[in-house]
Amino acid sequence: MPPLDPEQTARVVEIAMDLARAGETAELIDFLDHGFPVDQVDAADNSLLMLAAYHGHHETVAALIARGADVDRRNNHDQSPVAGALFKGHDEVVAVLVAAGADLDAGTPTARAAAEMFGRTHLL
């Protein structure tokens, strides 16, 4: 099969990001099983994990971590997945990320600071 051109590549990335955002775990894992990079980012440096975490999909987050996703990969706003999940109030996602060893002091704001701001320090 010939390699994808830049437009096709951009479309594949867009589809994968949408799957992460929607929590379509099985379909997203299918992409990964066919060679899609687990730490792929979009134009704002949001990884698949960041999008799944921010949108509250703990099963997708766990599946991405199981396939080697970087739990501390920050976007171009220096936000980490665990801080994003805390901000959005996704307790199950926070638990998965903390269990996977997410750095609670990475990013701006840090997860610890976000937890304090939103009264969720019990999650850390």
pLDDT digits (tens, 9 = 90+) for 46-61: 999 999 999 999 999 9
Structural domain total, the chain = 1
114 against 20, higher pLDDT: 20
Quick check: 1 pLDDT over 70?
Answer: no
Other CB atoms within a 10 A radius of the CB of residue 38 amount to 19
CATH number at residue 22: 1.25.40.20
Domain hosting 35: range is 6-123
Q: Which of 62, 68, 76, 78 is nearest to 25 (CA)?
A: 62
In a domain, 37, yes or no: yes
Asked whether the bond before 109 is cis by omega within 30 degrees of 0, the reply is yes
| pLDDT single digits (tens) 80-122 | 999 999 989 999 999 999 999 999 999 999 999 999 988 888 8
In a domain, 1, yes or no: no
Is 33 within a domain? yes
Residue 20 is assigned to a structural domain of this protein: yes
Q: What helix, strand, coil percent values describe the chain, rounded to 5? A: 55, 0, 45
**Residue 107 counted as domain residue:** yes
